[in-house]
Structure 1
Amino acid sequence: MANRAQAVVITTTTTTSTRFQVLPFILICLNNVLSAECIDRITKSEPPKIKNRLLFKILLSVFLGIITGLICALLFALLARYFLKYINRKTPTPKPLILFSPKISPKTLKSAMSNEPHLLGSSSNGDYYKVVLDNGLTVAVKKLNPFVPNTSATTKKKKRVKRELDTLSILRHRNLMSLRGYVFESNICSLVYDYAPNGSLEDAMRSAREDRLELKWEVRLRIAVGIIRGLYYLHFNCEPQRLHCNLKPSNVILGPQFEPRLADCGLAPILPDFSRAGSCYTGPECSLNCRYTDKSDIFSFGVILGVLITGKDPLDPMFGEGGSSLGQWLRQMQQSGEVRETIDKNILGQEIEEDEMVMAVSIAVVCMSELPADRPSSDELVSMLTQLNSF
């Protein structure tokens, strides 16, 4: 009995103790529930103010973030700009007075020019000289007419000319006279080219008319093909498109084996006072509205082709006056069926060659059409002329 009573006491004590341990936990839970309800009540009692404050804080943060980003980007751009200026100031790009190859100093060229250089030709825009440098290299130098004495307009013009000459120096083709360099000294600009021993097409045709030089049809056709290939390069392979603007026999230089090279390419646009002397080589649209296009170059080529076929000077009195007189004469002879009468007697020979010459006359006539739209393009002419013979 005693043991059973003791067990009951122990059980009762344990149960009581357990109850006292659970009670605090229950009180804590009740306290938490009451606190959550209070907070919920407080929250529900003022939800608009809290929501507005929260929305305001979010918008303010976004706005400040955008402003901070813009300020940082602006500061970075300014720092980068000043950094680049600093680098350029510390390591400036050299500005030699002459560029490209071979290297020629202004002093060397001036010294060579002072030794009575041989005059190769003259034009209204400058003179061509044969110049032998100190190292024995022979070059052709064109001295352009002097610029107007120093003015703000002249300074701007010289800068523009230099930029354009840098661009022209990149042009490379077997039928172009490559600009090897240029020298600016005071108000005079000298252009340096490779020297061509056979002179210009104008010199060659003059010699042929005087029976001092024999130019067979094969050579003349090769010259025509070379000229049109040079124009094709300018019109279709250059970006942006380049125009010659002053194509005539004096600007066609003959290299070894009478390989033609076009000189003075692109000089007209950069020299406002550049004169296209010899109106017989200029398309009628150039005189009427001063508009020059690639089809104007084609007109000039047509006149040169006519000169190669007929052997005649377009300024010959037999044509009378007028820029398109040679073209009109060829067209009239073609319409009357007397084309063979227009061919230079010095190149008449084999029947096959004469047929080629007759077809070449037709090509020259269409190139000298009054309307630019009626003239073929340089790529079409390359195909036409190369089909006359195998090149």
Structure 2
Amino acid sequence: MQWLLWSITFEFLCLEQSVLNLSNNGFNGSISPSISSLTHLTALSLANNSLSGEVPDFSIASLQVLDLSDNNLTGTVPRSLARFPSSAFLGNKFAPENFSLPSVSPIKEASKGPKLSKSGFGIVIGGCVLLLGLIAFLMVVWHLKKESRNEDLQRADKKEKEVKGSQGGNGNGSLVFFEGCSLAFDLEDLFRASAEVLDKGTFGTTYKAALEDSNAVVVKRLQGVVNVARREFEQQMEIVGRTIHENVVPLRAYYYSKDEKLVVYDYFNQGSVSSMLHAKRADRSPLDWDSRLRIAIGAARGIAHIHAQANGKLVHGNLKASNTFLNHQRYGCVSDLGQAAVMVSPPMKSGGYNAPEITDTKKVYQASDVYSFGVLLLELLTGKSPTHATCGNEIVHLVRWVSSVVQEEWTAEVFDMELLRYPNIEEEMVEMLQIAMQCVAKSPEQRPKMAEVVKLVENIRTGERRL
């Protein structure tokens, strides 16, 4: 894996691109020192890999965003990277003191003049200089503390104003709750809640917030990626808030301010379908065929319901296994609805879920959701991620791989080995595979509508065994 990382870095150097995102790839070994040669680099993410060793001192003046979190890096953080927040280095083996910013003393050593031998006058002058320096230092410290106190008071005042009327429903610096939400909390409760990072996705970072009343909610932070005016954002959230269905995770609340945009959902303690399929075996129980079929049926019903809203114009735009959960009946339930409509542009690197037309048009369509659903079906059938690395470190795209295997008439090799223990399901798996291949057709016009897909998936299981 290390040679692959070095190779990618070299290719990137040749292309002179400005953003390098190699997160979530399972890379190991050390970080290539050749990164220092990427003089055009503005953003670098190597998060969620298995990189080890010390961080090289790559001083890149253009670099504005850095994320080295969740690796096995050791040693010290180079001084050239001390300008980045501590969150860029979390989840490694750095000593705690490496996260504190370098202190800068306002007192510098005075230049030494010629000695005045046998003269007390020089001693007096030196003492005065030291005394004046000490006074200047104390004044600087006092001034900094005063500024810090003023900033704290301003933040506290801002927070107090935001919390007031937090259920007023106008979104003016407050949480806006939707009808039917039984949760009782405000913005101050969220500020006080202990937070755990659940996912760093294409549309922002998702946190689990543990509230003081023992309830937990999911908060997604959209800061920095929203590209619509306040009114358009609120209108989109209102549409999402009114989209109520047992197979769609409800939006409970949202928050809008100039510097922060948050959306709040229910928390599912069993985790996402992605974690159920791809977590380490020691951390999960294998998903049986009935469970996978329920996930497919539920997700299909949820997407079909979404497509029927807003006069048949609503699009999910970010369907994937990490945004799919199980409802109380253990059917698939889709989350993150509506966020694609308020983002700068659809994610170009969505881990293999994006339909081909998104790359060309930079827009999402209902047919694009059908494609993403087809990828989810293939994921359930194969147990493989939409993009994954082979033993030889070759990156494989799931749709292409399945297509090539099916063309060679080796269909049996497609299915997840964990499913082979269950008897009498071969025909049902082949039916789901056929539906998935219709959904991932290259041309949007060749894909079925989601209402039709629901019927096809529901009819996989017939008779007394029907779910």
TM-score, length basis structure 2: 0.57
Q: Distance in 1 between matches of 2:250 and 2:215?
A: 16
**Measured at CA, do residues 329 and 146 of structure 1 come closer, stay the same or move farther in structure 2, by a change above 3 Å?**
closer
How far apart, in 2, do the equivalents of 1:369 and 1:224 lie?
18
Following superposition, the deviation at residue 94 of structure 1 comes to 6.2
Question: Paired residue for 2:360, among 269, 272, 288?
Answer: 288
Could you report, residue by residue, the CA deviation over 1:102-134 in whole angstroms, capped at 9, with x for unpaired residues? 4655xx333334343122222142222222333
Moved more, 377-386 or 137-146: 137-146
Deviations 1:279-302 (A, max 9, x none): 511011111233432111111111
CA distance in 2, matches of 1:159, 1:114: 29
Aligned to 2:448: 376
Change (3 A) 1:193 1:94: closer
Matched, 1:162 2:234: yes
* Aligned counterpart for 1:125 among listed residues 192, 203, 209: 203
Partner residue, 1:271? 343
Q: 5+ residue gaps in structure 1?
A: 1-92, 149-153
Matches of 1:123 and 1:267, distance apart in 2: 12
Q: Does 1:309 align with 2:384?
A: no
Choose between structure 1 and 2: higher helix proportion: 1
Letter in 1 for 2:201: S
Deviation at 1:183, TM superposition (A): 2.0
Q: Is 1:171–2:256 an aligned residue pair?
A: no
Partner of 2:126: none
Match of 1:143 in 2: 221
How far is 1:338 from its partner? 1.3
Q: What residue identity is the alignment partner of 2:444? A: P
Which of 426, 439, 462 is matched with 1:354 structurally?
426
Q: Normalization by structure 1: what TM-score?
A: 0.67
What amino acid sits opposite 1:330 in the alignment? V
1:299 is matched with which residue: 371, 389, 397?
371
- Counterpart Cα distance in 1 of 2:271 and 2:441: 30
CA distance in 1, matches of 2:288, 2:183: 39
- Give the counterpart letter for 1:95 in structure 2: N
* Pair 1:207-2:279 in alignment: yes
Change (3 A) 1:274 1:365: closer
Contact between 1:141 and 1:191, CA under 8 Å: does it hold in 2? yes
Q: How does 1:1-391 map to 2 (within 5 A)?
A: 95=170, 97=174, 98-100=176-178, 101-102=181-182, 104=184, 108-146=186-224, 157-207=229-279, 212-256=284-328, 258-273=330-345, 275=347, 277-318=349-390, 325-389=397-461, 390-391=466-467
* Runs of 5+ consecutive residues of structure 2 not aligned to the other structure: 1-167
CA drift of 1:333 comes to 2.0
Question: Structure 1 residues 291 and 256, CA, compared in 2 at 3 Å: closer, same or farther?
Answer: same
What amino acid maps onto 1:336 in structure 2? E
- CA distance 1:306–1:184, change in 2 (3 Å): same
- Conserved? CA contact 1:330–1:361, under 8 Å: no
What code does the residue aligned with 1:130 have? Answer: K
Deviation at 1:139, TM superposition (A): 1.5
* Count of residues in correspondence between the two structures: 289
CA separation in 2, counterparts of 1:321 and 1:207? 19
Once the two structures are superposed, residues 171-227 of structure 1 have per-residue CA deviations (whole angstroms, 9 ceiling, x without a partner) of 101111111111234521211111111111111111376673210011011101111
Paired residue secondary structure (2:442): coil
SS at match of 1:127: strand
- C-alpha distance in 2, partners of 1:147/1:223? 30
- Residue deviations 1:335-368 (CA, integer Å, cap 9, x gap): 3221111111101134421111112111111211
Q: Secondary structure at the match of 1:190?
A: strand
The 1-side partners of 2:221 and 2:246 are apart by 23
Q: Distance in 1 between matches of 2:418 and 2:354?
A: 27
Q: Deviations over 1:46-76 (max 9, x none)?
A: xxxxxxxxxxxxxxxxxxxxxxxxxxxxxxx
Give the whole-Å Cα distance in 1 for the aligned partners of 2:411 and 2:295: 21
Mapped partners of 1:383, 1:253: distance in 2: 21
What corresponds to 2:70 in structure 1?
none
The root-mean-square deviation of aligned C-alpha atoms, in Å, is 2.6
In proportion to residue count, which structure has more strand? 2
Q: Which amino acid aligns with 1:308?
A: L
The worse-fitting range, judged by mean Cα deviation, of 301-310 and 190-199 is 190-199
Moved more, 349-358 or 270-279: 270-279
> Are the equivalent residues in 2 in contact too, given 1:267–1:274 (CA < 8 A)?
no
> Which structure has more RCO (C-alpha within 8 Å, separation ≥ 6)?
1
Provide the rounded CA distance (Å) in 1 between the counterparts of 2:197 and 2:241. 24
